[in-house]
């Protein structure tokens, strides 16, 4: 990592007019440029959110954006020059998620991009349903061959046998990540190199009292004893990220047109002090199209195919790694809305999301701009134990609708409600899911 900085730091410090090298990069539309503020500004909200898996949340997220000056040649090409946001969030179901994030798309007017993030997560109600394709089966419980069609039915049964926390465990995981990227081919292609470090502490809930409720049986404890589950003792999971991305989006935080093709590889091993050696390969496509004759409608589509191999710790088998971020699932508000978080986990994961986004109304007041967007959606996904098992049958799917508010274009407030055959979920958070 030190050698990487020695090689690239002189380039990062050299400001230059790089617009000639970004000849293929889409520019913002006239209306986007008109609404885009120059200079720096703050946005932020107290967080009073709700997540079906984590309960009611409270905290705050504050953004600082610097868009640069309108006279800058990059002003018409980028959503912002610098972005920093900090978040403090905790919920009634024992989830803490505190973040400090930095992003500089063309740092110091160079072709390089730096993103970094410090994250602290503690979840006393993390969900565990297994780490193989058997997680696709109906919900089950200890001491019976009975299965359950809905999460509510399973929970009612678990309460009767004194095992309310059968599918729950505690995880505490601080994470640090730094990514360095560079644009090529007129700004449409970028290559990324990153490093990330995380350490997990794990507790299972067998024969213990949690929140004044005794819990006797615990699935994670059973699997770690019977199947020698990888990662049940926690520890370090450190790796490098290599990514190749084609990106023609017009405005990344709230795109109207363009495509993203993302091939990301994660390599984890003892060379970086990891306790586990494994690999992650992820391909995704995100596509956005706004018809000229109906410019109030953006058709948004995402397909993801993710493969993991080696000794992946169970608590990171839910991870889907992209060039710029991680998502977690399948299940939960970033993948299959309406299923419980991490409901389906295995070595191979695929998910499809389709959202027609209807721009309903735009408001401009006190120097702020707001766009209100209605978003019906369909999610579908499935997991497999091996690549050769991949098929097109019996996918899990959800239906739902949501409202997004684009505040000063770059800050997206989301309110989504999803329905699955096992239950439903209401999610209030930030950002489009893709």
Q: Summarize pLDDT for 330-366 with one digit per residue, the tens.
A: 999 899 999 999 999 999 999 999 999 999 999 988 8
CB of 205 closer than 8 Å to CB of 170: yes
Instruction: Check whether 64 has a pLDDT greater than 80.
Output: yes
DSSP state of 150: S
Confidence (pLDDT) at 3: 45
Name, of 2-6, 47-51, 327-331, 354-358, the range with top average pLDDT: 354-358
Confidence (pLDDT) at 17: 67
The token pair at 372 is 């209100």
Tens of pLDDT, residue by residue over 192-230, are 999 999 999 999 999 988 877 888 999 999 999 887 799
SS3 130: coil
CB of 123 closer than 8 Å to CB of 328: no
Tens of pLDDT, residue by residue over 14-49, are 545 688 899 999 888 777 788 788 889 888 777 776
Instruction: Report d(CA 417, CA 343) in Å as an integer.
Output: 17
Q: 124: how many CB neighbours lie within 10 A of its CB? A: 20
Instruction: Check whether 418 has a pLDDT greater than 50.
Output: yes
Indicate the class that CATH gives domain 2-430.
mainly beta
Binned at pLDDT 50, 70 and 90, residue 326 comes out as confident
Q: Where are the beta strands (DSSP E) in 311-410?
A: 319-321, 326-328, 348-365, 368-384, 396-407
Instruction: Check whether 50 has a pLDDT greater than 70.
Output: no
Confidence (pLDDT) at 2: 54
Instruction: Report d(CA 235, CA 434) in Å as an integer.
Output: 30
Instruction: Check whether 142 has a pLDDT greater than 80.
Output: yes
Q: Enumerate long-range contacts of 325-333, CB under 8 Å, 24 or more apart.
A: 329/381, 330/381, 330/382, 330/383, 330/396, 331/127, 332/53, 332/425, 333/51, 333/416, 333/418, 333/425, 333/427, 333/429, 333/433
Bridge partners of residue 177, in order along the sequence: 117, 196
């Amino acid at each position: 990592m030190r050698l990487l900085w020695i090689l690239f730091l002189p380039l990062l410090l050299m400001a230059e007019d790089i617009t000639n090298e970004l000849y293929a990069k889409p520019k913002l539309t006239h209306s986007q440029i008109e609404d885009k503020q120059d200079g720096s500004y703050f946005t932020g909200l107290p967080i009073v959110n709700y997540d079906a898996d984590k309960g009611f949340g409270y905290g705050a997220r504050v953004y600082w954006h610097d868009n640069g000056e309108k006279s800058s040649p990059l002003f018409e090409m980028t959503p912002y020059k610098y972005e920093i946001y900090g978040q403090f969030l905790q919920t009634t179901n024992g989830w803490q998620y505190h973040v400090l994030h930095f992003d500089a798309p063309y740092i110091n007017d160079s072709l390089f991009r730096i993103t970094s993030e410090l994250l602290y997560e503690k979840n006393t109600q993390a969900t565990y349903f297994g780490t193989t394709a058997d997680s696709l089966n109906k919900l089950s419980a200890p001491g019976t061959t009975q299965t359950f069609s809905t999460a509510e039915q399973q929970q009612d049964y678990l309460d009767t046998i004194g095992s309310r926390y059968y599918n729950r465990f505690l995880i505490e995981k601080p994470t640090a990540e730094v990514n360095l990227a560079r644009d090529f081919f007129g700004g449409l292609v970028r290559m990324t190199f990153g490093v990330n470090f995380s350490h997990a502490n794990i507790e299972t809930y067998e024969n213990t009292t949690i929140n004044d409720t005794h819990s006797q049986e615990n699935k994670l404890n059973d699997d770690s004893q019977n199947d020698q589950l990888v990662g049940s003792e926690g520890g370090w999971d450190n790796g490098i990220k290599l990514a190749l991305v084609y990106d023609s989006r017009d405005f990344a935080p709230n795109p109207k047109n363009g495509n993203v093709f993302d091939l990301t590889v994660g390599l984890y091993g003892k060379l970086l002090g990891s306790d586990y050696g494994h690999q992650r390969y992820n391909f995704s496509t995100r596509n956005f199209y706004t018809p000229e004759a109906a410019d109030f409608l953006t058709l948004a589509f995402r397909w993801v195919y993710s493969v993991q191999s080696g000794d992946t710790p169970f608590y990171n088998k839910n991870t889907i790694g992209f060039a710029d971020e991680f998502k977690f699932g399948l299940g939960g508000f970033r993948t299959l809305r309406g299923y419980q978080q991490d409901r389906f986990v295995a070595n191979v994961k695929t998910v499809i999301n389709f959202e027609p986004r209807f721009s309903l109304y735009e408001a401009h007041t006190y120097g702020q701009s707001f766009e209100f967007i209605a978003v019906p959606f369909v999610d579908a996904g499935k997991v497999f134990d091996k690549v050769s098992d991949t098929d097109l049958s019996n996918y899990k799917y959800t239906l739902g609708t949501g409202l997004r508010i684009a505040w000063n274009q770059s800050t997206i407030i989301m309110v989504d409600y999803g329905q699955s055959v096992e239950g439903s979920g209401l999610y209030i958070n930030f950002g489009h899911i893709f």
